[in-house]
């Protein structure tokens, strides 16, 4: 159990009962609201104090030069960094001429609540100014899941005990001062005041600012409208300049009287549309939101989330922290992709500027599997974004002397943004991860139109890369050499097992897809010879195996490397990459994050149960979890191998990554993939969910002793399925849709909607508990 929590443990909300400035930046990430298009960090309404101000529009970035001590052919020249766009959250308050600043005066009470069912952030506080005037402030904030361009705030001030003169300043602010990045100073210079003004308007209670980024040439428009309710003596006035548009509301409140401001904020951006067009776009969005009104936005938000939770909720009996954490995780995963609409899902979502706002392979491997079964429309849009970046990926492949498309390791707009090629360019597995996401989405939805229009092209171009990157040796064996797998402590290696298995699946999926869609195959220039070459490569791909040890190798020769000196590594020397040279890490048996273990989850049909157990036992003592992507994978495979107590510990680590700030970096934004991994650990780990190529769902559920019940819902091929697992039995109920056949511990179960099917849960196999590296054992709950 976490003994020093910043947030109360409740099943449907995250509650902060006092203001702690030491964790302010963490709370700004935890309380962030988003819809995949707009991201509002959970900054205080008045703007200060703050950890990191943050208002983000998905895809809006600035360019800056990448640092190289020595140039080299094929190195990316320009980096991309998410920028803080015009801030519409700010509502400053003055009470009898004293600024409402929680660092001064006396804060009587302060509470914030992220309501996971209603999709709002609520705040209540009571404050006495240095001059002795007391006010009660209430605010409710939302980023709309139904009106993509809209965010809104209701802000209310009540006089307590005495007559108070209050002033509310509702603002749009561009080019806010930010903490300088602690990395490349050239990036810091490029990102200082990145928005050049084009238009500022303040008319009545309506505000608008339009700016353009200096280097990337993106136009950003933000507009706000207000509804003001207060005593008769309330007045308003507005003004604007190049970086600030402001509505000032002034009133005198008698004790018990309130002043209320409802603020609607519309956001838009484009790399092509004109300034007048962008102004019209945000004004139109405001008009639509005004038609709904504040209460209409609240009602629509609740209805949207009611539908989501009906098909996505996970219930955990036996651990209140994990129950809260998995709902928190699902809420933020939904927010990250709900309305992204042909934009990336960044590693931090839109909750912070960590990783420069880039998207990685995390999206396809961790986030999209969750959304495929809970909000599948978001998966289609994320993959259409990948399709939209194919030209850049093809150009990158050509630059590298390869065929097809080489998707970037990290990016915002489609070009490679990594300056470190061993972990970037060499991590070609991102191509197979994208292909896997395509196959999974089509299998989960039956969306053949998507497969034809989007999936086939992605599968073909990624398959072409593998066929050109790999080669057949003199014996006909297909090798993929000089690549980096998921484990970044083993770079530029030959025949990484994860990469080779995922590439094999990619090649076969592409061959099958062009057979189903001959018209698309012809358009893309795929003939029978090329398709046959994919099948030949897939059939001959090399999977390294150590016969003496009886385990698969993470990559060819990995098991002959010298083991890392774990006994000689101090607790304060983790993560290793901050204390030891990569040169040393690359030559040793030490694993940053699940790699071969991840392959046993994503490509489970290749491994039998004994191989899973032996492989897990071998790699567990080598894996240091210096990445937040590891614990959830280890949880899934630990559960499969029968190590339920260990799986429980890893599940908690993934689940509490941000709520407990386990890596001390939640201030930069949430770990969206680790949040998604919470669902993976519970549903794929203890629920045993797997998918077979014939679109059958397989379940092999087993619970740890701490859980008395696990229940979850899935969407699959137009159906809603509910699964409930107890210590001794599992119950499967088809809630809607036509009959469905699933598998329970390998045996078919036919569901027709007439009632639940109940099956016994067999006991877990008994195996010796594996060891972990010294100082890196998970916390036992």
By annotation, the residues acting in catalysis are 488
Exposed/middle/buried for residue 473 (C-beta within 10 Å: 0-12, 13-18, 19+): exposed
- Of the CA atoms within 13 Å of residue 301, those in its CB half-sphere come to 29
What letter does residue 76 receive in the DSSP assignment? -
Tokens standing for 545? 């195996």
Judge if the upstream peptide bond of residue 49 is cis by omega within 30 degrees of 0: yes
Crossing angle of helices 456-469/497-516, nearest 10°?
130
Please name which of 186, 263, 194, 176 lies closest in space to residue 224, comparing C-alpha atoms. 263
What letter does residue 453 receive in the DSSP assignment? I
CA angle 132, 138, 144 (to 5 degrees): 150
Q: Given the structure tokens 């210590």, which residue do they identify?
A: 727
Report how far residue 602's alpha carbon sits from residue 619's, in angstroms, rounded to the nearest whole number: 17
Element (H, E) at 378: helix 376-388
Report how far residue 717's alpha carbon sits from residue 312's, in angstroms, rounded to the nearest whole number: 15
Tokens standing for 264? 């609607």
For 525-641, where are the alpha helices, taking DSSP H only? 528-540, 582-586, 596-602, 609-619, 630-640
Question: How far lies 436's CA from each of 35, 78, 150, 193, 597, in Å?
Answer: 25, 29, 33, 40, 17
- Of the CA atoms within 13 Å of residue 540, those in its CB half-sphere come to 19
CA angle 442, 444, 449 (to 5 degrees): 30
Report how far residue 185's alpha carbon sits from residue 178's, in angstroms, rounded to the nearest whole number: 14
Please name which of 160, 358, 384, 168 lies closest in space to residue 259, comparing C-alpha atoms. 168
Report how far residue 710's alpha carbon sits from residue 699's, in angstroms, rounded to the nearest whole number: 13
Contact 644, 705 (CB under 8 A): yes
3-state secondary structure of 253: strand
Crossing angle of helices 672-679/630-640, nearest 10°?
20
Residues contacting 129, CB < 8 A, separation 6+: 95, 96, 98, 100, 104, 105, 135
Report how far residue 191's alpha carbon sits from residue 549's, in angstroms, rounded to the nearest whole number: 52
Query: Which residues on adjacent β-strands are paired with residue 411?
Result: 359
* Euclidean distance between the first and the last CA atom of the chain, given in angstroms as a whole number: 6
Question: How far lies 768's CA from each of 83, 108, 599, 705, in Å?
Answer: 50, 55, 22, 17
H and E: helices and strands count for the chain: 20, 35
């Amino acid at each position: 159990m976490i003994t020093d929590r910043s947030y109360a443990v409740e099943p449907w909300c995250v509650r902060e009962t006092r203001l702690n400035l030491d964790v302010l930046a963490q709370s700004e990430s935890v309380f962030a609201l988003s819809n995949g298009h707009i991201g509002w960090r959970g900054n205080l309404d008045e703007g200060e104090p703050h950890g990191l101000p943050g208002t983000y529009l998905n895809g809006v970035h600035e360019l800056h030069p990448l640092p190289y001590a020595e140039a080299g052919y094929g190195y990316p020249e320009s980096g991309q960094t998410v920028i803080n766009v015009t801030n519409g959250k700010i509502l400053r308050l003055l009470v009898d001429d004293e600024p409402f600043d929680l660092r001064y005066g006396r804060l009587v009470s302060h509470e914030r609540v992220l309501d996971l069912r209603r999709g709002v952030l609520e705040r209540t506080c009571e404050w006495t100014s240095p001059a002795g005037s007391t006010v009660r402030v209430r605010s409710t904030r939302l980023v709309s899941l139904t009106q993509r361009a809209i965010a809104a705030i209701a802000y209310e001030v009540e006089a307590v005990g005495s007559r108070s003169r209050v002033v509310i300043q509702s603002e749009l602010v561009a080019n806010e001062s930010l903490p300088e990045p602690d990395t490349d100073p050239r990036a810091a210079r490029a990102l200082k005041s990145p928005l050049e003004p084009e238009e500022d308007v303040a008319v009545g209670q309506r505000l608008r600012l339009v700016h353009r980024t200096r280097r990337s040439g993106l136009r950003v428009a933000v507009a706000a409208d207000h509804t003001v309710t207060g005593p008769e003596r309330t007045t308003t006035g507005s003004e604007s300049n190049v970086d600030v548009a402001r509505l000032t509301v002034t009133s005198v409140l008698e004790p018990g009287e309130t002043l209320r401001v409802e603020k609607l904020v519309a956001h838009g951006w484009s790399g092509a549309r004109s300034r007048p067009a962008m102004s019209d776009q945000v004004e139109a969005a405001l008009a639509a939101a005004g038609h709904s009104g504040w209460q209409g936005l609240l009602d629509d938000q609740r209805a949207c989330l009611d539908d989501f939770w009906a098909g996505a909720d996970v219930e955990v009996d036996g651990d209140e922290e994990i129950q809260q954490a998995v709902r928190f995780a699902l809420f933020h995963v939904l927010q990250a992709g709900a309305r992204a609409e042909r934009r990336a899902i960044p590693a931090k979502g839109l909750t912070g500027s960590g990783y420069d706002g880039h998207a990685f392979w995390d999206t396809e491997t961790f986030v999209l599997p969750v959304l495929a079964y809970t909000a599948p429309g978001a998966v289609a849009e994320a993959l259409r974004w990948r399709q939209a970046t194919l030209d850049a990926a093809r150009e990158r492949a050509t630059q590298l002397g390869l065929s097809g498309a080489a998707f970037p390791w990290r990016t915002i707009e489609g070009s490679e943004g990594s300056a470190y090629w061993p972990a970037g360019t060499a991590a070609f597995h991102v191509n197979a991860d994208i292909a896997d996401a395509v196959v999974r989405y089509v299998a989960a939805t039956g969306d053949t139109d998507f497969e034809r229009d989007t999936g086939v092209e992605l599968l073909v171009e990624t398959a072409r890369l593998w066929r050109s990157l790999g080669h057949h040796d003199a014996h006909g064996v297909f090798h993929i050499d000089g690549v980096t797998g998921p484990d970044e402590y083993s770079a530029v290696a030959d025949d990484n097992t994860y990469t080779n298995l995922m590439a094999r699946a990619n090649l076969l999926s592409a061959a099958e897809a062009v057979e189903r869609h001959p018209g698309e195959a012809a358009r893309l220039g795929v003939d029978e010879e090329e398709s046959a070459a994919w099948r030949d490569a897939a059939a001959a791909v090399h999977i390294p195996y150590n016969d003496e040890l009886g385990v698969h190798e993470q990559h060819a020769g990995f098991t002959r490397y010298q083991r890392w000196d774990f006994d000689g590594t101090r607790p304060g020397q983790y993560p290793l990459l901050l204390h030891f040279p990569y040169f040393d890490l690359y030559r040793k048996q030490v694993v940053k994050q699940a790699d071969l273990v991840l392959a046993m989850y994503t490509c489970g049909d290749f491994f039998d149960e004994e191989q899973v157990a032996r492989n897990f036992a071998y790699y567990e003592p080598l894996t240091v979890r210096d990445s937040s992507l590891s614990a959830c994978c280890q949880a899934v495979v630990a559960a499969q191998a029968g190590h339920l107590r260990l799986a429980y510990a890893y599940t908690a680590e993934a689940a509490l990554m941000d709520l407990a700030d386990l890596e001390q970096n939640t201030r930069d934004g949430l770990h969206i993939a680790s949040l998604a991994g919470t669902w993976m650990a519970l549903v794929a780990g203890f629920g045993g969910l797997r998918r077979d190529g014939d679109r059958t769902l397989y379940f092999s559920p087993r619970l740890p002793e701490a859980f008395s019940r696990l229940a979850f819902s899935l969407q699959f091929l137009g159906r809603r399925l509910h699964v409930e697992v107890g210590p001794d039995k599992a119950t499967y109920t088809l809630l809607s849709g036509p009959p469905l056949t699933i598998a329970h511990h390998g045996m078919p179960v036919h569901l027709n909607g007439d009632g639940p099917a109940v099956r016994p849960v067999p006991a877990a196999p008994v195996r010796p508990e594996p060891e972990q590296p010294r100082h890196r054992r998970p916390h036992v709950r």
